[in-house]
Structure 1
Amino acid sequence: MADHGVAGSARVAASAQAWAIAMTRRPSVTGSADEASFGPWLSEQLSTRLKAPAAEVWTFGVPPDGRRQCVAMLVRGRGRETVLLTGHYDTVAVSDYGDLAAIATEPEALAAALMRRLDRSASTPAEMRAKADLASGAFLPGRGLLDMKAGLAAGIAVAERFAREGDRGNILFVAVPDEERSSDGARRAAPELRAIAREHDLDLIGAVNLDAIADDGDGSAGRSVALGTIGKLLPTAFVVGLPTHAGFPQAGLNAAVLAAAIVSRAEWAVELTDHLAGPATPPSLLILRDGRGGYDVTTPATAYAAFNVNIVRRTPASVLDAFDALCHEAVDGMLSALRERATRFRPGPTAIGSVHEVPVLRFSALADHVRSHDPVRFDRAREAADEPAASLPERCRRLTERLWHASGWQGPAVVTGFGSVPYLPTHLSASPAARRLEQAAQQATRIVGTRHGVTIRCEPVFAGISDMSFFGEADEGPLDDIARNTPGWASWIGWPETAGVAGVPIINAGPWGRDYHTPLERLDVHYAFGVLPDLIFDIVERVFATGASEPSIPVGASP
């Protein structure tokens, strides 16, 4: 193992801090021109600091137009075995900072300005806690500093140290865009790893994702290494009603009211919650809208709802089964309530008496019906729904709506499916490479924690949605169920037919802090710059030092 002298540790900490501040000062909001320019800028900075032959730096474009860039850097030691260090460089927007938006990416200036603001107006528990954190000097704010440029900075500092001290093995550093939206960067980089491994004669035996961890307590939960990650699905309900003039509401059935019933039933529903590992995260509504393009006095003909559902061991098929059941229960309950209420009004035209149930069907049934009866209309509906400026869930809504009109079917009804890119859960397998990585993580957390006088824990799963889902050992078997019920899967998701995940054993080791994605986003400085680079370097060295003769998994292969 390498020497852990005081001077050497200070050098690595200073490098991590300098990289973190420099990257934070460079805006990279998802989908912006700044995000597109960040990759070439980072590539140039890395090439300047880590010169050939010690390191090789290059970029590769991300679809659809290649303007956004993944940044790769290979630092060679000896042999073929390689550990991947990866993370994303895009951030959420800065508009929520209000009058401080102009300095949202200037950590030192923002710290002083936030303190002045909090001195004047802190009232909520989160604001009071942020005020105390910033006053202590232990935390530093800035959009993207915590999520997740400090993690990238730790990875770069480790690569620099490896260039000086590393012997056996290699480090491949890859920074990607777009994690905050659809993970286009990771989904481009994951299959690219196979080409990189072939071209550079590498054997990728493990990976460390560098994403941030939120901890509102004393940091004991934030100082952790996660041995897997949760997955995410976006179940959707496209609701078709019976529109009518608002002056005669009993003559129709309001699609938005049926959707509201589904929302009320599905929010925090235990039936959609995966309790198999760690604290359970209940489902929550992310999208709710009707299908109208403007205001009029006709009740909504359609409505659309989408829910965030996290999974650890549950399959997408079981989630959609449970969601269908909740939709049935919700709309049946609303029908019963409306029938009872209808008795309290004067007689008039009514539709509720002729509606005995609201069928719940899958998107796959709707798509198969239209495709088999009128393939031309199916293709036209898909083309009409493909609006590149729209989000994936909105394009999925538009396609479902157009196929419903093309089907000739009549409402009321609920069409369920999925509305975005699936994030698959990952777990370390029983492969030799995965065992080596887990052993290295377990040992490093103890040794490095003792060295720095802190406790660092190993947790079974990372509780945040992350690019680990595409780099790690995810099971792509359930994708058939997802693909059949995701509108525009082949056109808009673009999942490779062979393997969309890299299949590399992966863990998460990142910085910790509080309130990311809010103006109070702030980073615990000591852990991010002093402890984390030491922890990552120790994990990498231990992976290379153990099991030299054990075979590992080729990139993309099943364990």
Structure 2
Amino acid sequence: MGEKIKRLSLELTRIASVVGTRGEIKAVEYIYNYLKKVDYFIQNSRNLQLKDLKNDSLNRKYVMAFLEGKKASVNTVLLLGHIDTVGTDDYGDLKEYATEPEILKQMLSKKSFDEEITNDLKSDNWIFGRGIFDMKTGVASQMVMIEEFSEQLEKLQGNLVFIGVPDEEGNSAGMLSAVQDLAELSKEKGWEFIAAIDTDYMTGQYTGDENKYVYIGTVGKLLPCFYVYGKETHVGEAFSGLDANLLASELMKEVDLNYDLCDVAGGEATLPPISLHQRDLKTEYSVQTVNAVNLYFNFATHISQPDEVLEKLKQKAIMAFENTIRMLNENYRKYCELSGTPYKRLPWRTRVFSFEELYKNVKDEIGKEIDNKLETLTDELLKMGADDREFSLRIVQEVHKHYSDKNPVIIIYFAPPFYPHIFVEGANQREAKLLNAVEQAVKEVREKYEYKIIVKKFYPYISDLSYCSISKNEESIRKLVNNMPAWPKKYSLPVEAIQQISMPVLNIGPYGKDAHKLTERISQSYSLDAMPMILQKTIERLLS
């Protein structure tokens, strides 16, 4: 089995399938044509399909294949993987060899790297190449599972579905299309998805970490944004205004890498929020101070829903505003003492709104006029092809522009993308069955191999797994939608379809190093022996 996975991994890697290119279609077609030769699909051709992505400008496709076990059951396991990769510009003068593993390793050996990479280049254990680790070895292992189980249908009490999708490294267009088709499939067949298994990459969590990890559940992600509106002034009258840069900097201090905002569940914590963007919105040089700044953060979740994250960040924004006002008054008082100027407390007061609150205030003032203006702006931005983040900011600015209150304020909103977290607690029969299946599979593999395999709660990297489940709490979804200006004209999720197929998730990935780097590589040990065995045994137990 390991040698077959290796061969398929190398063949898939040789197909350059950078996200957003025609190569994604070639990779999907390769998988389709491979499975088309499997006896089961020769006899059951309707169970192997090339599916179009919905509303995709590149006309991309994904592949779906499903096995129906001899022992009839509604229980269905989903195998999912992505066939796209990030770009290859990081390879520099070796770019043409990025997807040629054998040649690439020889060429990299002529370069200078640190001791660890140099030793791996000398070792026969490591295979280098763009996508070999993230995640073509994982996809190859799923293809082999489909082929293997197609010859052992008597072992399956239920059904096994495989999807190979594009665009995971982009906007998950492949998975979001597949989710809708999976919902239709489950309705048509009367199936119930009991678990989703991804085989995305797995690596050490710290320097020198030799542990191998299996993850039950996955991290989520929000992109909370802040529109900070101050009060402009001439630099010669600095204390007459409120510098938006100063307020934004205080907000950055309150949020960026603040451990208070780690999301803790099941004894595991997310990384704290980290800034992805901070920019003042002044477009020219002048001696007028900055009156508007935009910030946004990567906010990882394990258990907090969008409404809870919004409230946490609102409190941080209030604190930042209060700290700024206090600091300004202290500095102004000291300045007045130095300059012999009478001191009078500055007029600023703390004001923090969500986008939903801002919109309501403006709607109360001018009624449907704001909706007409937003519709016009939306059409312009869509024609321009504005980025999701820029689109969101422009909508916020437009709403604020028509607000009669021009005092300093912080507006909190969400921008795309949104990845729901999935916490598998064992709270229901499906979750308990998945936890037990993994525990038994890992136990069996530990008895055969000496790897130290650790089962953890949350896959720590953003992936398509997130779209296998979403909260059914209406208030949480409402808060997300009402505070995401890009929804639904620029961005949306098939919420009902995701809720329909909602299932616990698992990642059993190959082991390697340096995903998204020119030294991306896979370890043949573990990836081609223990990992496939854990995958196979888990599937068997879920469908037994």
Q: Does 1:138 align with 2:125?
A: yes
One-letter code aligned to 2:68: R
Q: Does 1:182 align with 2:171?
A: yes
Aligned position for 1:471: 468
Structure 1 range deviating more: 78-87 or 149-158:
78-87
1:490-505 paired onto structure 2 within 5 Å? 490-496=488-494, 498-501=496-499, 502-505=501-504
Aligned position for 2:10: 21
Instruction: Give CA deviations for 1:379-401 in whole Å, capped at 9, x if unaligned.
Output: 23433444673332222112111
Change in 2 beyond 3 A, CA 1:473/1:260: closer
Q: Taking structure 1 as the reference length, what is the TM-score of the superposition?
A: 0.85
1:63 and 1:421 map into 2 onto residues whose CA distance is 18
Q: Does 1:455 align with 2:452?
A: yes
For structure 2, list consecutive stretches of 5 or more residues without a partner in the other structure: none
Aligned position for 2:510: 511
1:106 and 1:88 map into 2 onto residues whose CA distance is 19
Aligned position for 2:300: 310
The DSSP-based 3-state class of the residue aligned with 2:227 is strand
Aligned position for 2:482: 484
Q: By how many angstroms is 1:544 displaced?
A: 1.8
Change in 2 beyond 3 A, CA 1:336/1:151: same
Aligned position for 1:527: 526
2:407 and 2:37 map into 1 onto residues whose CA distance is 63
One-letter code aligned to 2:362: V
1:18 and 1:293 map into 2 onto residues whose CA distance is 54
Does the CA-based 8 Å contact 2:420-2:470 persist in structure 1? Answer: no
One-letter code aligned to 2:139: L
The DSSP-based 3-state class of the residue aligned with 2:279 is strand
1:219-234 paired onto structure 2 within 5 Å? 220-221=210-211, 223-234=212-223
Q: Does 1:68 align with 2:60?
A: yes
1:349 and 1:115 map into 2 onto residues whose CA distance is 70
Does the CA-based 8 Å contact 2:24-2:166 persist in structure 1? Answer: yes
Aligned position for 2:420: 424
The DSSP-based 3-state class of the residue aligned with 2:69 is strand
Q: By how many angstroms is 1:258 displaced?
A: 2.2
Aligned position for 2:86: 92
Q: By how many angstroms is 1:476 displaced?
A: 5.0
Does the CA-based 8 Å contact 1:250-1:349 persist in structure 2? Answer: no
Does the CA-based 8 Å contact 1:228-1:507 persist in structure 2? Answer: yes
For structure 1, list consecutive stretches of 5 or more residues without a partner in the other structure: 1-11, 546-559
Change in 2 beyond 3 A, CA 1:193/1:296: farther
The DSSP-based 3-state class of the residue aligned with 2:498 is coil
Q: Taking structure 2 as the reference length, what is the TM-score of the superposition?
A: 0.88
Aligned position for 1:414: 410
One-letter code aligned to 1:176: V
1:262 and 1:184 map into 2 onto residues whose CA distance is 33
Does the CA-based 8 Å contact 1:385-1:402 persist in structure 2? Answer: no
Aligned position for 2:197: 208
Aligned position for 1:399: 395
1:60 and 1:152 map into 2 onto residues whose CA distance is 17
Does the CA-based 8 Å contact 1:440-1:542 persist in structure 2? Answer: yes
**Equivalent residue for 2:437, pick from 414, 418, 440:** 440
Aligned position for 1:236: 225
Q: By how many angstroms is 1:172 displaced?
A: 0.9
Change in 2 beyond 3 A, CA 1:100/1:265: farther
Instruction: Give CA deviations for 1:485-537 in whole Å, capped at 9, x if unaligned.
Output: 11122223323353434212321111122221222322222222222222211
1:348 and 1:141 map into 2 onto residues whose CA distance is 70
**Equivalent residue for 1:360, pick from 345, 348, 352:** 352
Change in 2 beyond 3 A, CA 1:480/1:245: same
Change in 2 beyond 3 A, CA 1:13/1:409: same
Q: By how many angstroms is 1:89 displaced?
A: 2.0
The DSSP-based 3-state class of the residue aligned with 2:263 is coil
Q: By how many angstroms is 1:294 displaced?
A: 5.8
Change in 2 beyond 3 A, CA 1:387/1:220: farther
2:542 and 2:64 map into 1 onto residues whose CA distance is 21
Aligned position for 1:46: 35
Change in 2 beyond 3 A, CA 1:138/1:409: farther
Instruction: Give CA deviations for 1:404-449 in whole Å, capped at 9, x if unaligned.
Output: 1133431421100211232222133533333222211110111123
Q: Does 1:109 align with 2:98?
A: no
**Equivalent residue for 2:251, pick from 228, 245, 262:** 262
1:341-356 paired onto structure 2 within 5 Å? 341-342=331-332, 343-344=334-335, 354-356=346-348
One-letter code aligned to 1:108: E
Aligned position for 1:322: 312
Does the CA-based 8 Å contact 1:91-1:143 persist in structure 2? Answer: yes
Structure 1 range deviating more: 363-372 or 244-253:
244-253
Change in 2 beyond 3 A, CA 1:400/1:453: same
Supply the RMSD in Å over aligned alpha carbons. 2.9
1:439 and 1:39 map into 2 onto residues whose CA distance is 33
Structure 1 range deviating more: 436-445 or 69-78:
69-78
Aligned position for 1:542: 541
The DSSP-based 3-state class of the residue aligned with 2:529 is helix
Aligned position for 2:145: 158
1:529 and 1:318 map into 2 onto residues whose CA distance is 42
1:286 and 1:387 map into 2 onto residues whose CA distance is 26
Change in 2 beyond 3 A, CA 1:348/1:357: farther
Change in 2 beyond 3 A, CA 1:341/1:430: closer
Change in 2 beyond 3 A, CA 1:91/1:251: farther
Instruction: Give CA deviations for 1:452-477 in whole Å, capped at 9, x if unaligned.
Output: 33232322222222222211475554
1:88 and 1:442 map into 2 onto residues whose CA distance is 26
One-letter code aligned to 1:115: S
One-letter code aligned to 2:107: A
Aligned position for 1:5: none
2:139 and 2:167 map into 1 onto residues whose CA distance is 15
Does the CA-based 8 Å contact 2:15-2:26 persist in structure 1? Answer: no
Does the CA-based 8 Å contact 1:237-1:304 persist in structure 2? Answer: yes
Change in 2 beyond 3 A, CA 1:107/1:496: same
Structure 1 range deviating more: 30-39 or 453-462:
30-39
Instruction: Give CA deviations for 1:169-189 in whole Å, capped at 9, x if unaligned.
Output: 332111122222332222222
Does the CA-based 8 Å contact 2:183-2:498 persist in structure 1? Answer: no
